Amino acid sequence: MNLLIKALIGALMVLLIGLLSRTRNYYIAGLLPLFPTFALMAHYIVGSERGTADLRATIAFGMWAVVPYLAYLASLYWLVARLRLLPALGTALLVWCLVAGFLVVAWNRR
């Protein structure tokens, strides 16, 4: 049942993004993926199973996790003026993966 609820929330978000992208305020569709649906779940699970110290570490890492997303957005912004959509998305995704990988390695070395 818990998995079904999570799947329904994900489906609802995709539906809302699709609907918003067709309105005159289409840019709001870019805000919905940042709604902390999964962060809420992660913070609840870590906080209830691991304790406050581990929850605080998870929150701190989450703050740094914005950096790969920003790198994705910046590279996609630059790439969509130079490439077709799918290659631009693929390259921006690769940028996200590289920056996220660097973040994980750097976090583990601290």
Q: Using one digit for the tens of pLDDT, what is the confidence trace for 14-59? A: 999 999 999 999 999 988 888 888 898 899 999 999 999 999 999 9
Give the contacts of 75 (CB within 8 A, at least 6 positions apart): 91, 92, 95
The C-alpha atoms of residue 20 and residue 30 are separated, in whole angstroms, by 9
- Which pLDDT band holds residue 103 (cuts at 50, 70, 90)? very high
Does 75 share its domain with 107?
Answer: yes
pLDDT of residue 52: 96
Whole-number average pLDDT of the chain: 93
Does 28 share its domain with 42?
Answer: no
64-76: per-residue pLDDT in tens? Answer: 999 999 999 999 9
Does 105 share its domain with 60?
Answer: yes
- Domain boundaries, position 95: 36-110
pLDDT of residue 43: 94
Does 27 share its domain with 7?
Answer: yes
pLDDT of residue 26: 93
Question: Which one is predicted more confidently, 41 or 101?
Answer: 101
Structural domains in the chain (count)? 2
Does 59 share its domain with 98?
Answer: yes
Burial track 34-55 (b if 16+ CB lie within 10 A, e otherwise): eeeeeeeeeeeebeeeeeeeeb
Does 28 share its domain with 56?
Answer: no
